[in-house]
């Protein structure tokens, strides 16, 4: 969905980036910028900067940057059109669209057709629930404490038996299958996927209906049924209730994770809106990454049976790897949240359950203590190994250190011996220890790769072009082309007087954000930095020529005299440029 440039410019002007970022980041003023802890990676000292004047953000730690649209895309995992639509609604900006390429228009139209089809299905399910045919479904929902208003609020409905949807929506079989509303029998007959079920519309993070869940009335299997995987619906990336919960999650920096629709709805109804549910699948790494961008704490409120306990263990690892504090909220008596909340004083009991939630390491200790003899050396070792799995997933070294200290005290063993056992498991390739988080992988790669000499110089050139726009053309003329293609593209736009932050290239926007939020430099640095860039270029060429000469000599081949002459000339040119001004090395 392409938008007109003037509409995007107006959105960037009106969408207050400070207000948007402040929903998840505590900002404080530092000079002309606002700084805070980056929401996209773990850090203890703030490297995340926001400029209200320029409408840009940049993290000097993980290098995420851009404008307010980029921020919402990265924070919420939105596509560009969804981020634009979200901000336009938030700041009351009309967004005119322009004509797209035929291919893009066809893809977008196909998506819109599927979304409209799913909305039409929800309207039909909703009518059936309210009509005479929905009496049994209404009776079931009333037994779960839900009213007609609740059904409308939470997009509930009722799917008839037979093939009501396939017949009534008048869509092609291909579209019905692609939307996840239809299914095919072994004989090839198209039929409704959801039949005689209470339905739950499933929305994506932007609030679009992308699929359905269905709970059968009476006997039958499966008890719960979700949409099949479609172009719009992916169970491993969608959490039920996210669109209702996202604002409160960001405000509270916390989320409660439950296993089913009814538990999620019950918690929302009783004043706990920061709640989402998995869709009949384990919490995935994708789920954890989404939550890691939104919250700092997660309460796991799964069933207390063996399956629920296994779900806690599976969910803890990816959440801990995202730097999220994990607590286990399981009320006494083994009741699930829906059942507990329908009991007298259920809301107060659930609030107390959250307040008494145990850190996942404590929960693991308690579970392991039931299975092993904590008085024997072998039992202590077995308990320690179970708790180690969570400790190894913790990202903060300080938290890991404190957890090991606490564990040694609880097991009544020497701390040195426990740490030795912990390290031995790490060296032997413990599964959880070797599963590095994406952030760690990125950081390790960055450390292993040597930064080229010219790269910081080119970043400074772009920063100077941002700080002194009248000198951008001069920098462009003297330094053409830059070695880094992204920086070169940004400098080209700046030199031509264009708004670099409005370019469609996300990498260029991020580079410009970094340049715009860099430390202020004196204007005299323009000439000096141009000279340093020229020297770095000469040095790069000299190194290439000398490396070629060495390779020829090592292989026993003759060296062309012109290469020796070129090496000598470059060395002399480098010396002359160093005397002419600026330091020889940056």
Q: Which of 68-72, 117-121, 360-364, 438-442 has the weakest average pLDDT?
A: 438-442
Which tens digits make up the pLDDT trace of 513-561? 888 887 778 888 999 898 888 888 888 888 888 888 888 888 888 878 8
pLDDT at 513: 86
User: Is residue 33 pLDDT above 90, yes or no?
Assistant: no
Lowest mean pLDDT segment, chosen from 39-43, 68-72, 166-170, 471-475: 39-43
| 3-class SS string, 422-448 | HHHHHHCCCHHHHCCCHHHHHHHHHHH
pLDDT, mean of residues 354-369: 94
Q: Measured between alpha carbons, how far is 505 from 539 in angstroms, rounded to an integer?
A: 31
Instruction: Provide the phi-psi class of 295: left if phi over 0, else alpha when psi is between -120 and 50, else beta.
Output: beta
Q: What percent of the chain has pLDDT over 70?
A: 92
493-505: average pLDDT:
85
pLDDT at 388: 93
Distance in angstroms (rounded) separating the CA atoms of residues 202 and 217: 19
Per-residue pLDDT, 2: 65
Q: What are the phi and psi torsion angles at 538 (to 5°)?
A: -65, -45
Whether residue 111 contacts residue 231, with contact meaning beta carbons closer than 8 Å, is answered with: yes
CA quadruple 246, 248, 253, 258: dihedral positive or negative?
A: negative
Where would I find the beta strands (DSSP E) of 438-500? none
333 or 214: whose pLDDT is higher?
A: 214
Question: What's the average model confidence in pLDDT over 138-144?
Answer: 95
Which of 134-143, 296-305, 404-413, 424-433 shows the lowest mean pLDDT across its residues? Answer: 424-433
Kindly state the average pLDDT of the residues 266-295. 90
Per DSSP, 301 falls in state -
């Amino acid at each position: 969905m392409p938008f007109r440039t003037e509409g995007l410019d107006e959105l960037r002007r009106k969408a207050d980036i400070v207000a948007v970022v402040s929903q998840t980041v505590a900002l404080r003023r530092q000079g002309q910028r606002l700084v805070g802890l980056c929401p996209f990676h773990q850090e203890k000292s703030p490297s995340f900067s926001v400029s209200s004047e320029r409408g840009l953000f940049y993290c000097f730690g993980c290098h995420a940057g851009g404008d307010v649209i980029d921020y919402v895309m990265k924070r919420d995992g939105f596509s560009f059109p969804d981020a634009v639509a979200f901000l336009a609604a938030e700041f009351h900006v009309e967004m005119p669209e322009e004509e797209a390429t035929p291919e893009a228009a066809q893809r977008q139209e196909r998506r819109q057709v599927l979304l409209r089809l799913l909305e039409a299905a929800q309207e039909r399910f909703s009518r059936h629930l309210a009509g005479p045919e929905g009496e049994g479904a209404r009776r079931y929902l009333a037994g779960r404490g839900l009213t007609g208003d609740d059904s409308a609020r939470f997009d509930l409905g009722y799917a008839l038996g037979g093939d009501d949807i396939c017949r009534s929506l008048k869509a092609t079989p291909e579209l019905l299958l692609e939307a996840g509303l239809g299914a095919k029998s072994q004989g090839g007959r198209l039929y409704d996927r959801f039949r005689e079920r209470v339905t739950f519309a499933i929305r994506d993070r932007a609030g679009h209906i992308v699929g359905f869940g269905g709970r059968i009335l009476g006997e039958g299997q499966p008890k719960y049924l979700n949409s099949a995987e479609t172009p719009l619906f992916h169970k491993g990336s969608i959490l039920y209730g996210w669109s209702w919960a996202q604002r409160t999650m960001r405000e509270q920096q916390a989320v409660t994770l439950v296993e089913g629709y009814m538990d999620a709805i019950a918690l929302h109804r009783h004043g706990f809106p920061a709640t989402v549910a998995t869709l009949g699948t384990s919490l995935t790494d994708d789920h954890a990454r989404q939550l890691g961008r939104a919250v700092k704490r997660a309460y796991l409120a799964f069933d207390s049976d063996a399956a629920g306990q296994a779900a806690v263990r599976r969910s803890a690892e990816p959440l801990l790897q995202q730097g999220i504090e994990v607590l286990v909220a399981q009320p006494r008596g083994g009741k699930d949240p829906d059942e507990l909340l329908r009991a007298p004083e259920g809301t107060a009991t659930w609030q107390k359950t959250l307040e008494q939630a145990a850190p996942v390491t404590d929960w693991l200790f308690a579970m392991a203590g039931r299975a092993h003899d904590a008085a024997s050396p072998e039992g202590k070792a077995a308990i320690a190994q179970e708790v180690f799995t969570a400790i190894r997933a913790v990202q903060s070294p300080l938290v890991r250190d404190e957890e090991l200290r606490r564990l040694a005290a609880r097991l009544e063993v020497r701390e040195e011996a426990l740490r030795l056992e912990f390290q031995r498991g790490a060296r032997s390739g413990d599964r959880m220890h070797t599963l590095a988080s994406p952030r760690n992988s990125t950081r390790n790669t960055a450390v292993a790769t040597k930064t080229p000499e010219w790269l910081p110089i080119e970043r400074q050139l772009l920063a100077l072009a941002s700080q002194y726009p009248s000198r951008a053309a001069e920098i462009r003329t003297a330094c053409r082309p830059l070695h880094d293609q992204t920086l070169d593209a940004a400098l080209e736009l700046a030199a031509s007087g264009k708004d670099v932050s409005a370019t469609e290239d996300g990498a260029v926007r991020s580079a410009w954000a970094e340049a715009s939020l860099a430390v202020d430099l004196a204007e005299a640095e323009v000439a000096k930095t141009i000279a340093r860039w020229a020297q770095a270029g000469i040095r790069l060429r000299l190194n290439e020529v000398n490396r070629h000469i060495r390779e020829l000599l090592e292989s026993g081949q003759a060296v062309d005299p012109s290469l020796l002459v070129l090496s000598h000339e470059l060395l002399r040119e480098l010396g002359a440029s160093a005397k002419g001004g600026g330091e020889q090395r940056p």
